[in-house]
Each structure stands twice: as structure tokens, then as C-alpha cells.
Amino acid sequence: MNADLLVDGWTIYLWLVVGALILIAVAFGIRWAMRNEQFDEDIKYVMFTEADQDRMDPAEYAKSREVIARQINRREELSSREGHG
């Protein structure tokens, strides 16, 4: 291998290209997540069940039931759209 090709000056361009590719991949990942409903702040309510009602504030419990019903409806909608329902 020619020693002139291994001069330190070329490595910065490699790092710039790799950095740009990483930023592009991150942008596509965020775009995918937004389109696939991955940024749902109400997801924390899905873990509660009806057995948790006595330990929760009534408003929080009502919110959890609303979120779960919305999740079930959305799942059924997507399932029927894909032909699984």
C-alpha cells in the first residue's frame, strides 16, 4: 500500500461522511417513528388494569380506560386494514 494514501488529512473526510450518514439514518428513524405512532405520551396508561381502580385517582383511572379503549379500537382498525380481522 502506498504510504502517501495514509496521510492523516483524509480521515476527517471519512468521519464527516460517516457522521452525515448517521444523521440521515436518525432522521429517517424519527420519521418512521412519527408515522407509526411511536411517540404516544398516553402509553403509560396501558399498563393499568381494572384491578388498579382502588389505587388510582378516579380521573387517572378514567383516562386509563379511555386510552385502552382507543388502543383496542386502533388495533382492530389496523388489523382489519391488513386483512387479519
The pLDDT of residue 3 is above 80: no
Average pLDDT, the chain: 84
Does the pLDDT at position 35 exceed 60? yes
Threshold 0.85, pTM exceeds = no
pLDDT band at 84 (very low <50, low <70, confident <90, very high): low
Of the CA atoms within 13 Å of residue 8, those in its CB half-sphere come to: 0
pLDDT exceeds cutoff 70 at 34: yes
> What is the residue extent of each domain of the chain?
1-39, 40-85
Residue-by-residue DSSP string for 37-63: T---GGGGGGG--GGGGGGS-HHHHHH
